[in-house]
Structure 1
Amino acid sequence: MQQQQIRNLLNLVIIPTGLFAVGFGIFYSAQLDFVLASAIFELEGGQWRLTNHWLFSEVLHSGSRLLNNIILANLLGFWLYQQLSGKTHSERTIALTKLVVSLLLSFSVVALLKRLLPAECPWDLQQFGGDLPFIGVFAQRPADMHPTQCFPAGHASVGYAWVALYFYFLPVNAKKARIGLTTGLLLGLLLGVTQQLRGAHFFSHDLTTLWLCWVVSSLVYLIYPNRMTQASETSQEQHYV
């Protein structure tokens, strides 16, 4: 069992973290972020034309966030109903609990880091029509510099947090698990690209959000006790004894 846990930790957390570190280094440290943002900026005619476009601003930004809040509220309501009905030990309720915890933690971790790690959005920077110099995420910022909250990408988390659906379905249906993972990835990619086209984020901001959401969901899946499994193992041990 311990070997399986180590293998799961390696496959779900350590290897993805290594891949993230490589990708982050390429886009942030090697400044491929600026190459991509500059290409988008030039394609939009040297300004962020899509910042206030109704499709990107009202539908894909504000609308998708509202829809996510509605779905999350209904999910929380259903989870609370399950808790009050005393079905907390069922396999379905345990999976739902893991899903809810993963979603709430993913949104919370991203929101917290946005406040702890002030960073500039592309539209803030002088080279992209803004009035701020580029300081970056980890460099010391001037004390009188207005803090900006662009790292990691908050809006992309509205999509990427739902990679937790992969772990919700994984114990019972591998095909549905893959569909859940694809859904989260595509939603995150769509909302991330939306914000990049508006000048709100660099690619490394979205990549960081994806990594955070995946690691949070993976750790919840691995750490949160599966009482059905534990009960089954205990029963088997007693049977063999």
Structure 2
Amino acid sequence: MLTSSRTRFYAANFAIPLVCAAVVFLMFDMTRIDIAFSNLLFDPVTQTFPLDKVHLFEKITHKWARIIPNWTAEIALVGAMLSFVWPLLKTHKRPRLDNFLQRSKAAPVLRFACEHRRDFLFVVFAFAICTGVIHFLKAHTSVYCPIETTLYGGKIAHLEWYNNFQLFKEAGDGRCWPGGHASGGFTMLALYFVARAYRWRHAKALMVGALLLGFIYGTTRVLQGWHYMSHTFWAGIFVWLSCLLTALAFYGRARLELPVLKKSERADAPTDLQSSKPDVRPSLS
């Protein structure tokens, strides 16, 4: 039973992304599908991607869109810092301070942050690790964006990521593979793993929402000529694996593979969550 459960967990969370990686590599990196799709968006007369010149489109889809992952990361960071404040206050020894915090409604916030320290720290670490992985891959493959290549009026020759990969040093100045903007949306998958650890029955909907957000972010940059479509898929694969490994380190496989709570079990959820509430220290699976 335990072996079967473990097998299902790794098949769903590791095998499927790896199969997706193989499919993306064979369908896109080994063919010219990416280029064919970008050709449809390129105006050969003006030698531009028309949507790249629409400032409102750029502002809404590239500038403003950053608000969602940025605010999520900032809230998690603030929550992680506040989680250390409540134990230091020692309100049980300071009744006046305790009364003040209760009246100002600060006490529930500080207690909540302390109780969910691991969750806040996980989100902070997951965002940081995902960002680090994407930046590493960008620097060590040096892929230039379509709009920068000779295929679309640029000055740099088109090159696939595997033709220029350098493990121990930066490969050049290109910074286009995987999709950075798409990865910003995909990092919201960290919230899915938090929901999964607490067996929230809407965790899958949260996962779908994060995936859709990443695909939307990535697609808008494809339309502007700043990425190929495969860059978005690669970003999603690497972010998923990064979040998964970080979640395993913080929560452990046994907790992540528990079935989500059914609607009829909602009344018992607080007891289940309290009994499975983690320490504030991460533990490797």
Q: Same-fold call, TM > 0.5?
A: yes
Q: Shorter-chain TM-score: what band?
A: 0.7 to 0.9
Residue in 2 that maps onto 1:18: 19
CA 1:219–1:89 in structure 2 vs 1: closer, same or farther (change >3 Å)? farther
1:112-191 to structure 2, matched below 5 A, reads 112-140=136-164, 147-191=173-217
CA 1:80–1:112 in structure 2 vs 1: closer, same or farther (change >3 Å)? same
Residue in 2 that maps onto 1:52: 53
1:205 aligns with 2:231: yes
Q: Deviations over 1:44-88 (max 9, x none)?
A: 975211113223322211222255323321221012212333478
Unaligned runs of 5+ in 2: 88-110, 166-170, 256-273, 277-285
Q: Deviations over 1:100-130 (max 9, x none)?
A: 3222211221122111110021101222121
**Structure 2 letter corresponding to 1:62:** K
Checking the alignment, whether the CA contact within 8 Å between 2:184 and 2:214 is kept in structure 1 is yes
Unaligned runs of 5+ in 1: 234-241
Taking the aligned partners of 2:129 and 2:215, their CA distance within structure 1 comes to: 20
Give the number of the structure with larger relative contact order, counting CA–CA contacts within 8 Å between residues 6 or more apart: 1
1:98 aligns with 2:122: yes
Checking the alignment, whether the CA contact within 8 Å between 2:84 and 2:114 is kept in structure 1 is no
Choose 10-19 or 78-87, whichever is displaced more: 78-87
Taking the aligned partners of 1:61 and 1:136, their CA distance within structure 2 comes to: 24
Structure showing greater radius of gyration is 2
**Structure 1 letter corresponding to 2:143:** A
Give the CA deviation at 1:137. Answer: 1.2
CA 1:151–1:83 in structure 2 vs 1: closer, same or farther (change >3 Å)? same
TM-score by length of structure 1 reads 0.82
Residue in 2 that maps onto 1:196: 222
CA 1:77–1:133 in structure 2 vs 1: closer, same or farther (change >3 Å)? same
Give the CA deviation at 1:221. Answer: 2.0
Checking the alignment, whether the CA contact within 8 Å between 1:56 and 1:198 is kept in structure 2 is no
1:71 aligns with 2:72: yes
- The total of aligned residue pairs comes to 227
TM-score by length of structure 2 reads 0.70
Secondary structure of the residue aligned to 2:83 is helix
Checking the alignment, whether the CA contact within 8 Å between 1:120 and 1:136 is kept in structure 2 is no
Checking the alignment, whether the CA contact within 8 Å between 2:146 and 2:158 is kept in structure 1 is no
Q: Deviations over 1:138-163 (max 9, x none)?
A: 2249xxx9621101111111101112
* Identical aligned residues as a percent: 22
Give the CA deviation at 1:29. Answer: 1.1
Taking the aligned partners of 1:72 and 1:115, their CA distance within structure 2 comes to: 23
Choose 28-37 or 145-154, whichever is displaced more: 145-154
Q: Deviations over 1:177-205 (max 9, x none)?
A: 12211221121111111100110001111
Checking the alignment, whether the CA contact within 8 Å between 2:218 and 2:232 is kept in structure 1 is yes
Secondary structure of the residue aligned to 1:51 is helix
Residue in 2 that maps onto 1:237: none
Secondary structure of the residue aligned to 2:163 is coil
Checking the alignment, whether the CA contact within 8 Å between 1:166 and 1:180 is kept in structure 2 is yes
Taking the aligned partners of 2:142 and 2:234, their CA distance within structure 1 comes to: 14
Give the CA deviation at 1:220. Answer: 1.8
